[in-house]
Structure 1
Amino acid sequence: MATVIICILILLIAIFGIKSYCKKLSSGCCGASGGKSVKKNKVKDRDPSHYPVKQILYIDGMTCGNCVNRVENALNELEGVWATADLMEGKAVVRMKQDIPLEELKQAVKSAGYLVYKSVVEKNSQ
C-alpha cells in the first residue's frame, strides 16, 4: 500500500514538472504570455553626472532578457533612479539623484519577482 502511495506522489510531481516546463517553453521563463517580450521603459534623464549616488545590486533569478527588463522597469519607477541590469553578471547598476534606502530598492526588485542578495554602494561616481 505504501508503495502505491509513493508511486502516485512521484507521478503527480512528474506531471506538475512537465506542465511547468511546457508552460516555460511556450511563454518564456518569466511568464511573458504568448512569447511577447516585456517592454523596457526608457529613463528620460540619462546623464550620469545628474546621479551622484551609485549602488550595485546583485540579483538572483534573472534568466532572460524579459527578466532584465522587469528588474530595470521596477527600479526605474522609483523617483530619481536610472537603473541598468546585466543578465550575464546578474546585477543591476542603480544610479540615484538622492540616496534611496537599500530596503526600498530591494522591495522594488522583489515586487518584480527577484531577490537582491548583495549590494555595493559607490558615492560621487559617474
Structure 2
Amino acid sequence: MARYAAEYWMGYATLAETSENVVQTTVKFLQDESTFQRWSGLYQADRKWDNSPGPPRASRLYYACLGGPVAAAIGLLDEGADVNAQGGRYGNALQATSLGGHRKTVQLLLDKGADVNTQGGV
C-alpha cells in the first residue's frame, strides 16, 4: 500500500491543485527532508522499474516537474528552488517536465530562467 501511495499521490495532487490547501500540503511534503527521503526510497518516477530506488537522485523541483503539478513547482520556486539544478535520469527539471508534456510547467520553468541549452540525461 505504501508503494502504491508513493507512486500515485502526485497524480491526485495534480488533479486537485486548484485547492490552495492541497498545493501547500504538496509543497510541504516535498520540502520536508524526512518525508522526501522516505517517499524517494519507495518510488521515483524516473526509476519506475526499481522496487528499491534508494535516496533521491535529483531535486524536489525535478520530481515535482516530472509529476506535472504546476502549482507545486511554483511553490518550490517561490521557496528558492534552483530552476537549473542537475540530477535525475533526465538531467534537470526542464527535461523531466518536457518529457511528460506538461506545457504549463515547461513555460513556468522557462519564465524562471531555465537554460534550454543545459544537457539532459539519458
Q: TM-score, normalised by structure 1?
A: 0.28
Structure with more strand by fraction? 1
Structure with more helix by fraction? 2
Higher gyration radius (CA): 1
Q: Which has the higher contact order (CA 8 A, sep 6+)?
A: 1
